[in-house]
């Protein structure tokens, strides 16, 4: 992977960036995504934010190597603190982290989202918590995607400002993904179903404590949901 040829995962993130966008890529690592977006004429300018010095220096070096120092600003900062009002960012991408960490980044510097109209989020795990956050923070799901790469399955959520309603199934599986039922979706949730069945089976003979009963009820509810989804 490089700034000219992204991984399948980041290429899918890139396809949701509107033409003419001003992008902030948080946790940018080597800044491959913002460099790609500028090279392809998708973004007009970008901010690459990194909280760790090593990746920050890698991003600086990459942007310099690509000759994009006038188009991409690289900042060493904690999450959305990398975004300044004068950047006029309208699109934020956060990819390659857990869902809870992505939510904590979105919550920590809310003022940085004031001019933002689109969030493109790619959690490695626990996409559910992002949907829960969106539901309570006036963001609506514009689109979703799911893909498999290197034997890992990734979800991508595209949010725009607005209210929405989601059922428990929508929150867990994703409303757009649930409608489409792509092969990666079916593979992911079949795998989860089998895991939950194994755990449920393992506690069947356990002493019926309150904790065990709560776990049994939780797993049974999840299995009911996944049966309806597959």
Same domain, 149 and 223: no
What's the pLDDT score for residue 81?
96
Same domain, 102 and 153: yes
What's the pLDDT score for residue 3?
63
Q: How far apart are CA 130 and CA 94, in angstroms?
A: 12
**What are the distances in angstroms from CA 165 to CA 5, 60, 219?**
37, 41, 24
What's the pLDDT score for residue 211?
87
How many domains, in total, are found in the chain? 2
Same domain, 87 and 56: yes
The answer as to whether 176 is a domain residue is no
The answer as to whether 180 is a domain residue is no
Same domain, 32 and 106: yes
Same domain, 95 and 26: yes
Radius of gyration of the chain (CA): 19
Which residues does 183 contact at the CB level (< 8 Å), separation at least 6? 148
What's the pLDDT score for residue 1?
66
The answer as to whether 177 is a domain residue is no
The answer as to whether 146 is a domain residue is yes
Length of the chain: 230
What's the pLDDT score for residue 115?
94
Tokens, residue 133: 């956050």
The answer as to whether 182 is a domain residue is no
pTM score = 0.94
The answer as to whether 158 is a domain residue is yes
Which regions of the chain are under pLDDT 70? 1-3
The answer as to whether 21 is a domain residue is yes
Cβ(50)–Cβ(32) below 8 Å: no
Same domain, 207 and 162: no
Same domain, 100 and 153: yes
Domain of 22: which CATH number?
Answer: 3.40.50.150
Range of the domain at 210: 187-229
The 10s digit of each residue's pLDDT in 3-59 is 677 999 999 999 999 999 999 999 998 899 999 999 999 999 999 999 999 999 999
Same domain, 48 and 155: yes
């Amino acid at each position: 992977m490089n700034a000219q040829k992204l991984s399948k995962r980041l290429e899918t993130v890139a396809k949701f960036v509107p033409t003419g966008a001003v992008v902030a890529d948080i946790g940018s690592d080597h800044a491959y995504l913002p460099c790609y977006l500028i090279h392809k004429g998708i973004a007009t300018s970008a901010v690459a934010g990194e909280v760790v010095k090593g990746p920050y220096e890698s991003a600086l070096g990459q942007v310099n190597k690509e000759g994009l120092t006038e188009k991409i600003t690289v900042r060493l900062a904690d999450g959305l603190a990398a975004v300044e009002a004068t950047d006029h960012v309208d699109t934020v991408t956060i990819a390659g982290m857990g869902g809870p960490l992505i939510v904590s980044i979105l919550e920590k510097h809310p003022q940085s989202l004031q001019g933002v109209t689109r969030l493109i989020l790619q959690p490695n795990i626990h996409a559910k918590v992002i949907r829960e956050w969106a539901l309570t923070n006036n963001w609506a799901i514009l689109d979703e995607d799911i893909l498999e790469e290197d034997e890992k399955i990734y979800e991508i959520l595209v949010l725009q400002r607005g209210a929405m309603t989601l059922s428990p199934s929508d929150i867990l599986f994703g409303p757009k993904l649930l409608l489409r039922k792509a092969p990666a979706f079916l593979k992911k949730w079949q795998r989860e179903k089998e895991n939950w069945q194994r755990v449920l089976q393992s506690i069947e003979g356990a002493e019926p404590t309150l904790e065990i009963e709560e776990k049994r009820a939780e797993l049974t509810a999840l299995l009911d949901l996944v049966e309806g989804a597959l």
